[in-house]
Amino acid sequence: MSAEMREANTDGPVFADHVSLGHYRRRRIIGVLGWTLCGGCFVLLAFAMLDILFKVLKGGLTAINLKVLTETTQGVSGGLLQAIEGTVVLTIGSVLIATPLSIGVGVYLSEHRNRFFSKVVRFMSDVLVGVPSIVLGLFGYVALVAGLGWHFSVLAGSITLAVMIIPYISRSVELALLAVPQSLRESAYALGASDASVVARVLIPRSASRIITGVLLGMALSMGETAPVIYTVGWSDYLWNGQVTHQSMGYLTYVIWSFIDQPYQSAHKLAFAAALLITGMVLLITVSTRFTTRYMTIQ
């Protein structure tokens, strides 16, 4: 590049001899186009999300009342008390089953990540993430409802939902443990700690906030599923009697999926009320995840 060109560009970028002005302009144009495309996609996604939330809020707020929260469903009318109860029970049950298994899998994958079996487990976990939830529901029906003779039940639904969320939680645990500095492991080993002590007293406490985040996100995922519980839990207009097998249960996603197609205004109101309740529950879990992560990080 000549001295005249260098002097002419004193107010802008100064180029090396091997970088041309045309190459710089091409990079700027490509960068602007890329950011424009990303911004357009974000605006489109935000518009779709806001439109969905607006319709759910508009239909749900007019349908929510004390009767919906305190009475059980009667055909296509009444309330959603048993559906709210069933959603909470199934979500808690699936998380209680999935969390210990996921932590064990995540610890193994993080501490023995170079072993052949670990690579096989990680690959199968990634495959399980891509399996449609309706296929898991069919598996739960064949293996638990019909195979073990449990019929539609809380236990069958909780196990099926647990199988669905285990890959997500275990991956979160693995990444959380891998983020712990290697120097902490080496320090613990230098003090004579065993592998179990290092995991229990160093790694898990250090990454507790990220592990809890993964568990809460798995909880939100299981709460919004429909297909697995339709095949394994069925539907009931009555409150849960505490029996874990041979007993159907109501849940909110069934109301959304089934009642919106009914030719009755009362059914449509219950569907929108259920959608609003599910949205509020998932939003509460998401906000709790943010606050939990921030609080434990500060601590």
The CATH number given to whatever domain includes residue 90 is 1.10.3720.10
The CA angle 23-29-30, to the nearest 5 degrees, is: 90
Q: Are residues 56 and 150 in the same domain?
A: no
The verdict on 49 and 84 lying in the same domain is no
Asked if 235 and 250 touch (Cβ cutoff 8 Å), the reply is: yes
Are the beta carbons of 232 and 147 closer than 8 angstroms? Answer: no
The answer, yes or no, to whether residue 63 has pLDDT greater than 90, is no
Amino acid at 241: N
Gap between the Cα atoms of 118 and 110, Å rounded: 9
- Does residue 253 sit in the same domain as residue 124? yes
pLDDT, position 192: 84
| Mean pLDDT, range 270-278, rounded to an integer | 92
141 and 184 fall within a common domain: yes
Task: Tell me: pLDDT of 273 over 50.
Answer: yes
Residues 52, 100 within the same domain: no
Give me the pLDDT at residue 8, please: 47
- The domain of 21 spans 3-61
Q: From 37, 61, 85, give the residue that closes a domain.
A: 61
The pLDDT of residue 1 = 47
Least confident of 3-17, 104-118, 239-253: 3-17
**What are the start-end ranges of the H helices in the chain?**
3-8, 21-63, 66-70, 81-111, 116-130, 133-140, 154-178, 182-190, 195-198, 204-206, 208-223, 227-232, 252-259, 265-298
Clarify whether residues 260 and 292 are in a common domain: yes
Give the pLDDT of residue 3. 47
Taking residues 182-202, what's their average pLDDT? 84
Portion of the chain with pLDDT greater than 70, in percent? 91
Asked if pLDDT for residue 150 goes beyond 90, the answer is yes
166 alpha-carbon distance from chain centroid: 11
45 and 120 inside one domain = no
What would the mean pLDDT of 186-201 be, rounded to a whole number? 85
145 and 99 housed in the same domain: yes
Instruction: Give the domain-ending residue among 29, 45, 61.
Output: 61
In this structure, the answer to whether residues 25 and 156 fall within a common structural domain is no
Above 60 in pLDDT, residue 128? yes
The predicted model gives 254-273 an average pLDDT of: 90
Furthest C-alpha separation in the chain: 87
17 and 41 part of one domain: yes
For the ranges 3-12, 156-165, 196-205, 228-237, the lowest mean pLDDT is seen at 3-12
Closest CA to 188 of 210, 206, 214: 206
Same domain, 86 and 191: yes
Q: Whole-model pTM?
A: 0.82
The pLDDT, as a whole number, for residue 293 is 67
> Which element (helix H / strand E) includes 77?
strand 77-78
Q: What is the mean pLDDT of residues 7-16?
A: 50
Domain end among 42, 61, 80: 61
Q: Are residues 71 and 56 in the same domain?
A: no
User: How many domains would you assign to the chain?
Assistant: 2
Nearest to 180 by CA among 156, 198, 155: 198
